[in-house]
Structure 1
Amino acid sequence: MEEPRRLKRTQIDSTAGAISGAISRTLTSPLDLIKIRFQVQLEPTMIDKNVYNHAPSKYTGILQASKVILKEESWRAFWRGNVPALLMVMPYTSIQFTVLHKLKTFATGSSNISDHIHTSPYISFISGALAGCAATVGSYPFDLLRTILASQGEPKVYPNMRSALIGILNTSGVRGLYAGLTPTLVEIVPYAGLHFGTYDTFKRWTLAWTRDKSSGVHVANDSLSSLQSFVCGFASGTCAKAVCHPLDVIKKRFQIKGLKRDPKYGAGIEPYAYKNMHDAIYKISYKEGWKGLYKGIFPSIVKAAPATAVTFVAFEYTSSWLESL
Structure 2
Amino acid sequence: MAIELEEPQIESNAQVLKDLFAGTMGGIAQVLVGQPFDTVKVRLQSAPEGTYTGAIDVIKRLIKNEGFAGFYKGTLTPLVGVGACVSVQFSVNEFMKRYYDRKLQGHSLSLINYFNCGAVAGFANGFLASPIEHIRIRLQTQTGTQKTFNGPLHCAKKIYEIDGIRGIYKGLGPSLVRESVGLGIYFATYEALIAKDLKHHSGLTRSQIKPWKLCLYGGLSGYSLWIAIYPVDVIKSKLQTDALKAAQYKSSLSVIRDVWTKQGIKGFYKGFLPTILRAAPANGATFAVFELTIRLLNK
- Cα shift readout 1:4-32 (whole Å, capped 9, x = no counterpart): 97111111100000011011111211001
- CA separation in 2, counterparts of 1:202 and 1:220? 14
Given that residues 88 and 140 in structure 1 are in contact (C-alpha distance below 8 angstroms), is that contact kept between their aligned partners in structure 2? no
Alignment partner of 1:64: what SS? helix
Question: For residues 165 and 302 of structure 1, what CA distance do their matches in structure 2 show?
Answer: 30
C-alpha distance in 1 between matches for 2:261 and 2:96: 41
Equivalent positions of 1:111-150 (< 5 A) are: 118-150=108-140
SS in 1 for 2:298: helix
For these two proteins, the number of residue pairs brought into alignment is 289
Q: Distance in 2 between matches of 1:153 and 1:172?
A: 23
SS of residue in 2 equivalent to 1:173: helix
1:139 deviates by: 4.1
User: What residue is the counterpart of 1:189 in the other structure?
Assistant: 180
**Equivalent of 1:17, from 23, 26, 30?**
23
Shift of 1:117: 11
Matched, 1:318 2:290: no
Deviation of residue 222 (structure 1)? 5.9
1:27 pairs with 3, 26, 33, which one? 33
Change (3 A) 1:18 1:222: closer
**Contiguous gaps of at least 5 residues in structure 1:** 44-56, 212-217, 260-269
CA distance in structure 2 between the aligned counterparts of 1:174 and 1:289, rounded to whole angstroms? 33
Assess if the C-alpha contact under 8 Å between 2:171 and 2:240 holds in 1.
yes
**Residue 168, structure 1, aligned to residue 159, structure 2:** yes
**Cα drift, residue 224 of structure 1:** 1.8
Which amino acid letter does the alignment assign opposite residue 84 of structure 2? Answer: P
CA distance in 1, matches of 2:106, 2:287: 15
- Indicate the SS of the match to 1:109: helix
Alpha-carbon separation, structure 2, partners of 1:191 and 1:25: 18
Structure showing greater Rg: 1
AA matched with 1:257: D
1:59 matched residue in structure 2: 52
Q: How does the TM-score come out when normalised to structure 1?
A: 0.84
Task: Report the Cα distance in structure 1 between the residues aligned to 2:233 and 2:129, rounded to whole angstroms.
Answer: 16
Deviations 1:179-214 (A, max 9, x none): 000111111111111110111111112222333xxx
1:117–1:200 CA contact under 8 A, matched in 2:
no
1:249 match = 234
| Residues 1:117 and 1:67: Cα distance change in structure 2 (over 3 Å) | farther
Deviation at 1:63, TM superposition (A): 2.5
1:226 to 211, 215, 218: 211
What's the Cα RMSD here?
2.2
Write the letter of the residue equivalent to 2:289.
A
Give CA-to-partner distance per residue, 1:122-165, whole Å, 9 cap, x none. Answer: 01111101101112213432221111101122232212112212
Which of residues 86, 104, 107 is equivalent to 1:93?
Answer: 86
Report the CA distance shift for 1:5/1:239 in structure 2 as closer, same or farther (over 3 A).
Answer: closer
Gaps of at least 5 residues in structure 2 are 1-9
Alpha carbons 2:119, 2:179 under 8 Å: kept: yes
Q: In percent, how many aligned pairs have the same letter?
A: 29
**In the TM superposition, what whole-angstrom CA distance separates every residue of 1:283-313 from its partner, at most 9, and x where no partner exists?**
1011122101000011011112221111000
Match of 2:12 among 6, 18, 21: 6
**1:200 corresponding residue in structure 2:** 191
Q: Displacement of 1:221 after TM fit?
A: 4.4
Structure 1 residue 275, shift from structure 2 partner: 2.6
1:161 aligned partner, one-letter code: P
Residue pair 1:118, 1:204 contacting (<8 A) in 2 also: no
Aligned letter for 2:266?
K
Match of 1:308 among 266, 279, 283: 283
Aligned to 1:70: 63
TM-score after normalising by structure 2: 0.91
- Check conservation: 1:199, 1:233, Cα contact below 8 A: yes
